[in-house]
Structure 1
Amino acid sequence: MLATSLAGDYPLLNLFWTIAEIFLWVLWIFLLVRVLDDVFRDDSLGGGAKAAWAIGVVLIPFLGVLIYLIARGKGMGERSLKAAQQREQDFQEYVRDAAGSGSGDQGGHADQLAKLAELRRNGDISEEEYQRAKAKVLA
């Protein structure tokens, strides 16, 4: 019966390199998914260009991804930022619509208070007028 342990057969440096290789593979998979995500979400690319990039990235992954990053890498960040801003704007519109469509008069009150706050912020009404109008809305 062999009584050696696995830890004795696998030196610390080999363990370090194994962890580094696993980390690099996970990083590579993340980068590959990110590139494919960018290819399919880009509205400026036509169907043929998307298919060509996808085939290139899948068939020759290392070279395909590097070429994609060189050719279209700057645009990846810009498209990602634009998509995030669009999602934020859509969310804000949803919140405004949801707040304005409450049950009963709550939606109307919220709209009126928002309009009053806007008038006060623009200097169209004074603080005193704002407080009086706010009291009327809430009464």
Structure 2
Amino acid sequence: MPLTRLTKVGAAAASPLPAGGPSSVSSRKWCYMSFLDVLWAMLVGFALVAYLMIMFSVIVDLFRDDSTSGWLKAVWVVCLILFPLLTSLVYLIARGNGMAARSAATSKKVEEQTEEYIRSVAGSGPAAEIAHAHRLLEQGAISESEYEALKARAIAV
């Protein structure tokens, strides 16, 4: 509901404003945004988030690259601070293909490490445990009864 203007100091014509005169209303600021204002704010917010994502991906890729020297990385970072938009565009154009390759290599390495960890934690299956016990029996490290106990325990699991 829009506010009605005061006609005289202290008097309002059918005003929905609280009684108490203009002093109680003057401290309130009313701000109405049109649809285009909201749309513009959303567009600017989207552009800001996209820009920050590009900046962070450039910085992460810059420090992920082992072939780039420390001084060159420092120059890139200084340029990103002084001329952020221009530097990020130049970096994406000049080193964009390398970014994708480094990202793919890193994700492949992480996946391999994860699979290796899962295999080491999961342990071997019953057949591998029985084979290991059989080798110990052949080496003379365990007796026949210990072999049978290990075999029974491996099968039970």
Q: What is the TM-score when the length of structure 2 is the normalising length?
A: 0.62
* Equivalent runs, 1:1-139 vs 2, <5 Å: 1=25, 5-7=30-32, 10-100=33-123, 107=124, 109=126, 111=128, 138=155
Q: Is the 8 A contact 1:57 1:64 kept in 2?
A: yes
1:110-131 superposed Cα distances (whole Å, 9 cap, x missing partner): 7459xxxxxxxxxxxxxxxxxx
- Which structure would you say has the larger Rg? 2
**1:99·1:110 contact (CA, 8 Å) conserved in 2?**
no
Q: CA RMSD in A?
A: 2.5
Instruction: Look up the equivalent residue of 1:13 and give its one-letter code.
Output: L
Query: What is the total number of aligned residue pairs between the two structures?
Result: 110
Residue 147 of structure 2: aligned partner: none
Q: Is the 8 A contact 1:39 1:50 kept in 2?
A: yes
1:39-63 deviation per Cα after TM superposition (whole angstroms, max 9, x unaligned) = 0111111111111111111211000
**TM-score scaled by length of structure 1:** 0.69
Where in structure 1 do 4 or more consecutive aligned residues deviate above 6 Å?
Answer: none
- Percent identity among equivalent residues? 36
Query: Where does structure 2 lack aligned partners over 5 or more consecutive residues?
Result: 1-24, 131-151
SS at 2:103 equivalent: helix
Change (3 A) 1:42 1:110: farther
